[in-house]
Amino acid sequence: MKHRKFLLAETDIPTHWYNIVADMPNKPLPPLHPGTKEPIGPEALMPLFPMELIKQEVTGEKWVEIPDEVRDLYTLWRPSPLYRAYEFEKLLGTDCKIYYKYEGVSPSGSHKPNTAVPQAYYNKQEGVKRITTETGAGQWGSALSFACNHFGIECEVYMVKISYEQKPYRKLLMNTWGAKVFASPTNLTNAGRQILAQDPNSPGSLGIAISEAVERAAMNDDTKYALGSVLNHVLMHQTIVGQEALKQMEMAGDMPDIVVAPFGGGSNFAGLTFPFLRLNLEEGRNIRAIAAEPASCPKLTRGVFRYDFGDTVGMTPLLPMFTLGHKFVPSPIHAGGLRYHGAGVIVSQLLHDKLIEAQAVMQKECFQAGVDFAKAEGILPAPEATHALATVVREVQKAREEGRPKTILFNLCGHGYFDMSAYQQYFEGKIVDHELTAADIEALIAEIDTPEILEA
């Protein structure tokens, strides 16, 4: 019988998160104050986050212990399975070995609860009554709603308006877990009103929704804010994915040559790849880590490395990142939740130092790969995850041309059962490829007025 599925026991759930900062040759640059543009310390984050998460945001410690209560809740869905994709390999007719880590088994159907649970836990520990957040495709809002409900914290979600309209079931899922959900931009915040005054029909964007959620938290003492990606502590929480996968690859008697994950802000990419990159940094191994981003939002492959705001209005600290500019509003035709203008600080530094790679893929090739995968392996991937699949297909093709079969591991970071309207559009031929022109990119970059990063 084929060994298809690699399963761990509950006792194999990692006891610590891995902090790659400890192993990075060039440490991330400090954030800057949005007004003075001077480096800021962790205390500047105190209105928004509980102290323990701020400590994790700036720590240089290599391993951070996972609280028992968090590990206990993780057992609801962890360890997650790792599969060898025999059927997909057959469909592609390849000698490459393809493995995937499946995070769609979580309560909300993606990797996001891996960080939502510890974030809600630390807020609870510090007496926070309400957490605000933004959500794009709805995955993060669902995960945080679930976690807040468990710990008895109110959850307020600003959902990008176009997704709010396209994904009513995501909203209902959040409501089921007791969250309040608003279509952003709203009239409830200064940030929202400012955008609506300029464009009453604004489809919203993650950057705008972040401005709204941050404003609400900054204005209320009993309210904090939570982010589902980008920040260092969020990326660190996700490293349980890669730590499990490493053990599971050992069970399979294999090691990946290439590890691939879709890229929005970097959390599921970091989660899967950082524990493998640790082997590169510690032992000089040569595992390639590829971030797969949409051609319609190509910050890693075509953006610039410089300081930028995390939100649209410019309220957050300035972070050193690959960005298309904080005012970038991606094309609303694009399905999926990879529409953020910037990238996490750690992943940006790693890309700048050429320790990871990035590829931009087109929408139709993503959905094609997603449907092929569903036919072969049975699981319908989240539209975001199809970006990893399209990249895997490209790497398989390259391996064929080079006559060198590779072992490839990718992150199937979520299922697509709440995203059927995107698949419906694809089946009806309404998904079109969208790529920014060179002139588009030039215009976007010319508009960026935040500080440059000066090379030492």
Cβ-count burial of 446 within 10 angstroms (0-12 exposed, 13-18 middle, 19+ buried)? exposed
The token pair that represents 409 in the structure block: 């591991």
**Binder to ligand PLP among 83, 140, 307, 322 (CB under 6 A)?**
140
Contact stretch for ligand PLP (CB under 6 A) within 64-72, 203-211, 267-275, 448-456: 267-275
Q: Does 113 bind ligand PLP (CB under 6 A)?
A: no
| Residue 65 Cα distances to 5, 71, 125, 315, angstroms | 28, 10, 16, 32
Q: Does the protein bind ligand PLP through residue 78 (CB under 6 A)?
A: no
> Binding segment for ligand PLP among 36-44, 157-165, 258-266, 366-374 (CB under 6 A)?
258-266
Burial of 16 (0-12, 13-18, 19+ CB in 10 A): middle
Site string for ligand PLP, 288-327 (x = CB under 6 A): ----------------------------------------
**Residue 263 interacts with ligand PLP (CB under 6 A)?**
yes
Who's near 437: CB < 8 A, 6+ residues apart? none
Nearest CA-CA partner of 343 in 262, 279, 412: 262
| Positive/negative CA dihedral, 55, 10, 382, 248 | positive
* Residue numbers 398-417 binding ligand PLP by CB under 6 A: 413-414
Half-sphere exposure of 418 (CA within 13 A, CB side): 25
SS3 394: helix
Residue 112 or 233 with smaller CB distance to ligand PLP:
112
Scanning 49-57, 77-85, 252-260, 379-387 for contacts with ligand PLP by CB under 6 A, the matching segment is: 379-387
Element (H, E) at 81: none
Nearer to ligand PLP, 224 or 237 (CB): 237
Can you tell me the distance from the alpha carbon of 253 to that of 262, in angstroms, rounded to the nearest whole number?
A: 25
- Of the listed pieces 85-93, 212-220, 263-271, 315-323, which binds ligand PLP according to CB under 6 A? 263-271
Q: Based on the shown chain and the rule CB under 6 A, indicate whether residue 229 belongs to the binding site for ligand PLP.
A: yes
Locate 78 and state its tokens: 């962890």
Is 184 one of the binding residues for ligand PLP (CB under 6 A)? no
Least spacing, CB of residue 456 vs ligand PLP, in Å:
29
CB of 166 to ligand PLP, least distance (A): 15
Q: Can you list the positions of beta strands (E) in 295-405?
A: 304-309, 318-323, 357-361
Identify which range of 191-199, 205-213, 316-324, 378-386 contacts ligand PLP by CB under 6 A.
378-386
Pick from 19, 56, 110, 145 the residue near ligand PLP by CB under 6 A: 110
List of residues 6+ apart from 404 with CB closer than 8 A: none
> Binding of ligand PLP at residue 265 (CB under 6 A)?
yes
State the residues that interact with ligand PLP by CB under 6 A: 110, 112, 139-140, 229, 262-269, 337-338, 382, 384-385, 413-414
